[in-house]
Chains A and B, each alone.
Chain A
Amino acid sequence: MAVLETTDGAPAPVEDAPAPGAGTGIRIAAVSLWGVVGSLLAYGVLQTVLKASALFG
């Protein structure tokens, strides 16, 4: 049996579920944020790889 995904163990009211079709804006924002955090991570990894390359130089 699956467990309900509420925080207090009780079922959430019906109005908690947004209508189908809602959320296009948030999907675009989330994809954009993937781009931002991905770029930041890539920047950090690249900088660290450059630093680490001194070990093999």
Chain B
Amino acid sequence: MNLLDRRRTVAPPGYNRWLVPPAALAVHLSIGQIYAFSVLKEALIDRFDASHTQIAIIFSIAIVMLGLSAAFGGKWMERNGPRKAMALSATFWVSGFLIGSLGIQLGQLWIVYLGYGFIGGIGLGIGYISPVSTLIKWFPDRPGLATGLAIMGFGGGAMVAGPLTNALLGAYADTPAEALVPTMLTLAAIYAVLMTAGTAVIRVPAPGWKPEGWVPSPKKNAMQTHADVRVARAVRTPQFYLLWIVLFTNVTAGIGILEQASPMIQDFFSSVTPATAAGFVGLLSLANMAGRFVWSSTSDVVGRKRIYVMYLGVGAVLYGLLASVAGSAVGLFVVVAVLIVSFYGGGFATVPAYLKDLFGSLEVGAIHGRLLTAWSAAGIAGPLIVNGFADARAAQGIEGAALYTPSLITMTAVLVVGFTANLLIRPVDERHHEPVTAPAAASSIPTSSGEPALAGATKES
């Protein structure tokens, strides 16, 4: 286990920090496969002669386990370092594929629930948070860019896995159902290699390292701080819960579009064929991935709070447009939907940097893990809102764009709630900050007043 120890991952002097992101991308590209699960769905339904719901449970278990393992594994990850966490993630994720394949081979759906869903889901959660805090520590001057790079990989993972899985299902046997096991085993092998490479390459900065020439600029009343707040304290601050609401509302609204993208555009415009709708879904995938990198990087310039004002405020206006006038032209509908989904991706990628601003980088990975429970909750709420309204309207005999009007108006309101929560976020009170450890003395030094010196005394713009 020595190879996995944090001290074995400390970067040598002069190590180029741009050599770190590929390790994060290797992990996120692998676990991002979860969003291409739908490609396996029809083959699984055939193989098990099961309903859509029975197969959808596999995905749901995985997403629930993602949230839980990120929430409860974050503290362990911070203590043991990114390499051990990435190795653990790879073990769970690849084991999930192997056990899932066994379940498919034996015709036992519960083994697939256990393998790909439960065990694989643990790998998802640990893998998602494992490189984030390391990247933030390498890029204290541009945390938005750093987290955008990593989390962009998660969006890109589905774009790689989708066509690859389709190709494998077509190559291994006459029917996709027969090709499931070799396809899953091949994917397991690819992800084992890719994640192991990421685990080997990941490096943490040496203690006290900072980018050459970078000096944090002190500025009063700014949202960014150099103080550190531990996860146990962070979850007792109003800022954590306000940010939870921000992430929950942003993800709920994005899922509202993504969940129903194909049927929605066909219901809005009778001229749109299923093939064209598939192109629309592809365009949204690109917007999702690009939004993660572009908007998160932009947040380094304009500030985290302001960029969420845009995600949530402009997002609410765009949802209002969808509900009112976007049905008048395909082009307008597509542009509005692309922007909404890019904000969804941006919200995911920017939130670790927002956490770093508020709580410092000491346990940002663990705090991020706790916050991801908002993702799990939104994963339930978003589809429920859209499908619930659409089903109820359809039962009343309503067709076309009108099917979605109540859910689009609801999403606008949801975003306004998030917008308000974001405006209420203020810097974390200094009583939550960790005491400063003086680098020269290498020990904690209380001040003459008896109060511990606070790292939060300096803030950057």
Contacts and interface: CB of A to CB of B under 8 A. Distances in A.
Interface of A: 1-13, 15-23, 26-27, 29-31, 33-34, 36-38, 40-41, 43-45, 47-57
A11 B276 contact: no
B291 to A, nearest CB: 14
Nearest to B6: A7
A1 B458 contact: yes
Interface residues of B, number: 70
B79 interface: yes
Contacts of A23: 11-12, 15
Interface of B: 6-7, 10-16, 19-23, 25-26, 29, 78-79, 81, 137, 153, 156-160, 162-163, 194, 197-198, 200-201, 203-210, 216, 226-228, 275-276, 278-283, 285-286, 289, 334, 360-363, 434, 436-437, 439, 442, 455, 457-458
Contacts, number: 172
Contact of B361 (A3, A15, A52): A3
A52 to B, nearest CB: 4
Contacts of B280: 52, 55
6 contacts: A7-B6, A26-B201, A38-B22, A40-B160, A41-B160, A45-B289
A36 B279 contact: no
A12 to B, nearest CB: 4
A37 B334 contact: no
Contacts of A21: 12
A41 B209 CA distance: 30
Given A11-B442, A16-B7, A20-B13, A37 B22 contact: yes
A18 B7 CA distance: 9
B197 A33 contact: yes
B343 to A, nearest CB: 19
A49 B13 contact: no
A16 B10 contact: yes
Contacts of B194: 36-37
Nearest to B287: A52
A54 B278 contact: yes
A49 B7 CA distance: 42
Contacts of B283: 52, 55
A32 B237 CA distance: 43
A40 B20 CA distance: 17
Contacts of B153: 37, 41
A9 B444 CA distance: 10
A7 B81 contact: yes
A5 B21 CA distance: 18
B208 A47 contact: no
Nearest to A14: B207
Given A3-B361, A20-B12, 12 more contacts: A1-B436, A3-B226, A4-B207, A4-B437, A9-B437, A11-B437, A12-B7, A27-B19, A33-B23, A33-B201, A37-B29, A51-B278
